[in-house]
Structure 1
Amino acid sequence: MPSPSAPLFRFGVVADPQYAALEPNLALDRYPANSLAKLAEAIAEFNRRDLAFVVTLGDIIDGGWESFDAILPVYETLRHARHFLLGNHDFAIAAQHLTEVASRVGMPSAYYDFAHAGYRFIALDGNEISLFAPPEGDPRRAEAKVMMKALHKAGAMNSHRWNAAISDTQHAWLAAKLDEAKAAGEKVVVTNHYPIFPENSHNALDSDRMLALLAEHDHVVAYLSGHNHDGNFGVVHGTYFINFKGMVDTEDTNAYAIVSVYKDRLEIEGFGREVSRVLALQGA
């Protein structure tokens, strides 16, 4: 049984609200217009709790620059600090706005990190090498095509245009941040829109490379992602890979979570479609 000791801290998680003033996509069971009410419901619950912050794991909107004008005011009702990641749908906008998305939602930069209570949270920009986030003519689009072609040739299931990867520069930054956290005695939680494990058609194009890097670090306790709206879960070398379910899915059932961080475990309280879990921490 979990011990009754108080958690070090708690934080909220939202994945894929994917708001837009659009008709439902019945084939995918997605209701983008309903996400304003679902998000408001989640925030009301978050506001009742003592949370350190709330993280949104990308796909804030389904598309359309004007969609930010409707959903960001809902986030303004949150009484806690908020941290955003961006997803592929956040770039389904007019070309002139592609370089403005991070600043539009108030992010300090496309990827960043922050520390809290002995933990280092690393927020990745999983869209960097893609067919949608860089402007037309940017070499990163060509790099994404090369990666997808190689994956397709190898028979990989994730060689899709809705997936993406981080650059060599960001990969080196991630490695340096992992080393910094280790030196500081911090545990690490990595967040990215794109999952990397278990194998799935929605995984990042650079999943294998990312997994190899994380496997070198025993202080990485969890990797949190969205993108695959069905959710997923796995564990490798003591690191939990938690893919949260999409809020946009289903007409009226919500999906969000509150994570309580204890010295020896993570407790995930799932709401609506989201799964609740108790995850023991290695070496705690």
Structure 2
Amino acid sequence: MLSRRSVLAGSAALLAGPVRAAEGVLRFGVIADPQYADAAPNLKLGRYYANSLDKMRAAVATLNGEDLRFVVTLGDIIDRDAASFERILPIYRTLRHETRFVLGNHDLEVGPDQLGRVPGWLGMERAHYDFAAAGLRFVVLDGNDVSLFAPPPGDPRRALAETRLAEAKAAGLAQAQRWNGSLGEAQMTWLEGVLAAARAAGERVIVLCHYPVAPENPHNLWDAGRIAGLLARQPHVVAYFNGHNHAGNYAQADGIHYVNVHGMVDTPDTSAFAVVEIAGDRMEIRGFGREPSRSLTLKAA
């Protein structure tokens, strides 16, 4: 198990100072769903859990050769078991860039007494947060907030999750799946406040979440419509990056680019990650492995 000393040392390493990009240009790395576990592959799903260690080492070597502000992982660092963090986090600590994490559903496949400790293992003060970089505001959402697996036993959010899932099933939503989740009211209020503050400050916004909200997909948050509707009313929200759907996806709606990054864990030896560059009204996504490259225009805020 992770010791207090290793947790503290790991947190310090994960939050090491960034390497600055050129003036007026923001470049950052994106990884989704390494989903490491010391386990046999799931051939039906095409997931090769143990192979993610070598894929991560290769990705880190590539990303260390880039001039990046940070590298973000969009959830599912592990597939299961707290011990899996002990194997993959040391690879992350070899990154020379600042490292950011988003929590995925599989990151919480740990013992009930360990659920509340996962953010700390990843150097996160809380599961949803925001940060600024080069005039942009990055907003990290916790899609596990109201779910059947993240709140500790007895937490009222579990009962609320049962209700929301039942309502999603009654509405015939494709995302009415037990492995999805939703945002709590407190987080929604926080999100509205962060978006308002960013607009007042003249900051464009990029949202980061494990779960998609667009286009329609079985992997979407239960409350995807509510969240996408809120974002659609924000002229300064320009992009939304997520993982969870390992096949990847893309949509543009209301001037927002919804980019679903492919899952690294899939296939025996082909990885997936990207470098994103933002300069002016352009967002260039340079994909590696199974992740496609895209050249996108950002709307004026």
| TM bucket normalised to smaller | over 0.9
SS at match of 1:224: strand
Matches within 5 A, 1:64-213: 64-213=81-230
Partner of 2:77: 60
Q: Distance in 1 between matches of 2:223 and 2:59?
A: 32
The structural deviation recorded for 1:6 is: 7.8
SS at match of 1:179: helix
TM-superposition CA deviations, 1:113-149 (whole Å, max 9, x none):
1001110001111100000011111111111111111
Q: Which runs of 5+ in 2 are unaligned?
A: 1-21
The structural deviation recorded for 1:69 is: 0.4
TM-score normalized by the length of structure 2: 0.91
Partner of 1:40: 57
SS at match of 1:39: helix
TM-superposition CA deviations, 1:166-213 (whole Å, max 9, x none):
110001101100011000100000000000000000000110110111
Please, which of 267, 270, 281 is the counterpart of residue 264 of structure 1?
Answer: 281
Q: Distance in 1 between matches of 2:60 and 2:295?
A: 23
Q: Distance in 2 between matches of 1:184 and 1:38?
A: 39
State how many pairs are aligned.
Answer: 280
Q: Distance in 2 between matches of 1:160 and 1:137?
A: 21
TM-superposition CA deviations, 1:226-246 (whole Å, max 9, x none):
000001100111001001000
User: Aligned AA for 2:169?
Assistant: H
Please, which of 254, 262, 272 is the counterpart of residue 237 of structure 1?
Answer: 254
Q: Distance in 2 between matches of 1:200 and 1:6?
A: 38
TM-score normalized by the length of structure 1: 0.97
The structural deviation recorded for 1:216 is: 1.1
Partner of 1:246: 263
SS at match of 1:144: helix
**Is the CA contact (8 Å cut-off) linking 2:236 and 2:300 kept in structure 1?**
no
Q: Which runs of 5+ in 1 are unaligned?
A: none
Q: Distance in 2 between matches of 1:164 and 1:265?
A: 32
SS at match of 1:93: coil
The structural deviation recorded for 1:78 is: 0.2
Q: Is 1:223 equivalent to 2:240 in the alignment? A: yes
Indicate the percent of aligned positions where both proteins have the same amino acid: 53
SS at match of 1:114: strand
Q: Distance in 1 between matches of 2:123 and 2:143?
A: 17
SS at match of 2:100: strand
Partner of 1:50: 67
Structure 1 runs of 4+ aligned residues shifted over 4 Å read: none
**Is the CA contact (8 Å cut-off) linking 2:71 and 2:98 kept in structure 1?**
yes
Q: Distance in 1 between matches of 2:128 and 2:57?
A: 26
The structural deviation recorded for 1:108 is: 2.2
SS at match of 1:122: strand
Q: Distance in 1 between matches of 2:248 and 2:192?
A: 26
User: Aligned AA for 1:115?
Assistant: A
User: Aligned AA for 2:275?
Assistant: I
User: Aligned AA for 2:165?
Assistant: M
Q: Distance in 2 between matches of 1:177 and 1:235?
A: 22
User: Aligned AA for 1:215?
Assistant: A
After superposition, the CA RMSD in angstroms is 1.1
**Is the CA contact (8 Å cut-off) linking 1:229 and 1:244 kept in structure 2?**
yes
